[in-house]
Amino acid sequence: MADTSHYKCPSCGAPITYVPGTGRLVCEFCGTEVPVENLIDSAKKEPSFKWTGTDTSETAPDREYVCSSCGATLEAFDSAIVTACPYCGNNISSTEDVKGSYRPNLIIPFRFTKEEAAARIEAHLKKKHLLPKGYVKAAKQGELRAVYVPYWLFDCVLDGPVNLSGEISYTEEVKESDGSTRTENRTEHYRLERYAHLDFKRLPVDASTHFDDKAMDALEPYSWSELTDFSDVYFTGCLAEKFNSTPDDESGRVLGKVIEGMQEYFSSTERHYSNVRVSEDGTRLETGDVKYVMLPIYSLNFTFAGKREQIYMNGQTSRIAADLPVRGIRAAWRFLWSTALVFALIGIVTAYV
Amino acid sequence: MTFFDRLFSGWNSECLLYGGAMALVAGIIVLVVSLRSMKIQREARINMSYIDRDSSRVEKIRDVYLYTN
């Protein structure tokens, strides 16, 4: 049976919950406020995840939990650190899953409360005029969960020769044999030979297969200045997952992000040229340190027209990621009125110019 | 001459053709932008935020002219 961790109110003994953006835990029953620092023993440095360069980490085993509220015995969702009791809704957190090599190095606490998150998601949806009728109403009735998602933060260096292709375009006046002139558009093509040393810091890749990679990438960027030493104090009132994919499992995604970053870096540095592309890549990627971190995400789940819908919000920046459905008739109407509007504007300009 | 007299007298077949084509292109652009905003989008700038500009560098070896077209 796994140990469970609970933070109790010093006045009445009821569970206390972390309030996003305040740095305090509050008792729902007597209103007592406790600063986070009071519950974290900063002098006591507990061992946490350490990257050794090779994948020795294994995903944590499944465990049984006993709900402290209703006493039910339950088997947790396979990679949850904090899970909700299906009988009484109480959040149960396992101390076993945040110990030793499973203990995250760092965490970004939630900045937005559940109410603020719900309001921001609703405001975002109300701006989407192509949504089907009833979608916003269904979303409002959905289940909004505050979840800490496990991430790997990679430090890596890309080093080596790179060949790029670049263009310089210009117009030139050309004199014809009969004395007249004509304008010619020319494009000069170049091969740019460079030696690159690109230092990537804190490149994030989510470490859970339960979350859509495309959506997790779209929730970036995070403000790393708010990273703080891990403590399960921040888990109170939230759900949390542990990693179920190792840094080696995610190496392909890291490489993909590094290549994208390299392409954009060159586009921004070679301003003399346009259409800068990497044509030959002789670089090699060296992975340095890898940190295990917990990042705050709101997940809204609901069903609409028989289909399961999911909307994510970054709990630190409020950035929203969702694949939203489109009502065909609304899209057609938007196309028609925008076409008619431009047509009318051209008509007015033609009449008066 | 009223606004509408002037508006409708300004049209000829060429104007209708080019105006119609431009309006159609504008409508398609509005539609594509609207549809894209409904799907998950990644901002390009996030990739740049990974790179530590203080310790990154690019050395120029040479620029080779290839051809002009």
The band of A125, judged by pLDDT with boundaries at 50, 70 and 90, is: very high
How many domains, chain B? Answer: 1
Q: Is residue A344 one of the residues assigned to a domain? A: no
Under an 8 A CB cutoff, do B6 and A351 touch?
Answer: yes
Rounded Cα distance, A227 and A204, in Å: 13
Two tokens, residue A20: 């996003």
pLDDT for B62 beyond 70:
yes
Give the pLDDT confidence score for residue A27 in this predicted structure.
87
Q: Does A200 map to a domain?
A: yes
Asked if residue A236 is part of any domain, the answer here is yes
Q: Quick check: A4 pLDDT over 60?
A: no
The reported pLDDT for the residue numbered A42 is 55
Lowest mean pLDDT among A13-17, A45-49, A166-170, A335-339: A45-49
Nearest by CB: B23 against A202, A203, A342 = A342
Query: What percent of chain A lies above the pLDDT cut of 70?
Result: 85
Residue A325 to residue A52: CA distance in whole angstroms:
44
Q: Is B45 part of a structural domain of the chain?
A: no
Residue B41 has pLDDT above 80, yes or no: no
Q: Is residue B33 part of a domain?
A: yes
Instruction: Evaluate whether residue B34 is within a structural domain.
Output: yes
For a pLDDT cut of 70, what percent of chain B falls above it?
A: 77
According to the model, what pLDDT value does residue A1 have? 43
Residue B26 lies in a domain: yes
Range of the domain at A47: 16-165+191-322
Report d(CA A35, CA A12) in Å as an integer: 16
The answer to whether residue A345 is domain-embedded is no
Percent of chain A with pLDDT over 90: 38
Give the range among A77-81, A127-131, B48-52 with minimum mean pLDDT: A77-81
Give a yes or no: residue A334 inside a domain.
no
Residue B1 belongs to some domain of the structure = no
Instruction: Look at B63 and A190 and tell me if their CB atoms are within 8 Å.
Output: yes
Tell if the CB–CB gap between A195 and B58 is shorter than 8 Å: yes
Mean pLDDT, chain A, integer: 85
Whether B63 maps to a domain, the answer reads no
Higher pLDDT, A130 or A96: A130
Peptide bond into A221 cis (omega under 30): yes
Mean pLDDT in residue range A168-191? 90
How many separate domains does chain A show? 1
Residue A330 within any structural domain of the chain: no
Q: Is the pLDDT of residue A90 over 80?
A: no
Per-residue pLDDT, A22: 87
8 Å CB contact of A189 and B67: yes
Average pLDDT over residues A128-134: 90
pLDDT tens sequence across A26-70: 888 888 888 888 877 655 667 777 767 655 555 555 566 677 667
CA of A312: which chain B residue's CA is closest?
Answer: B40
pLDDT in the model for residue A77: 54
The CA distance from B10 to A350, in Å, is 6
Q: Is residue B32 part of a domain?
A: yes
Which range scores top for mean pLDDT: A55-59, A175-179, A201-205, A242-246? Answer: A201-205
pLDDT tens per residue, range A268-323: 888 889 999 999 889 999 988 899 999 999 999 999 999 999 999 999 999 999 99
Q: Which domain holds residue B34?
A: 15-39
Gap between the Cα atoms of A143 and A67, Å rounded: 21
Average pLDDT over every residue of A139-149: 93
5-34 of A, contacting B, C-beta below 8 A: none
Please tell me the predicted confidence (pLDDT) of residue A36: 85
Within-domain flag for B50: no
Cα–Cα distance measured from residue A247 to residue A151, given in angstroms and rounded to the nearest whole number: 9
Taking the C-alpha atoms of residue B57 and residue A285, their distance in angstroms, rounded to an integer, is 15
C-alpha of A307 from chain center: 24
pLDDT band at residue A174, thresholds of 50, 70 and 90?
confident
* A171 within domain boundaries: no
Position A3 scores a pLDDT of 47
Question: In Å, how far is A292's CA from the nearest CA of chain B?
Answer: 17
Mutate to test the interface with B, among A135, A164, A201 (most CBs of B within 10 A): A201
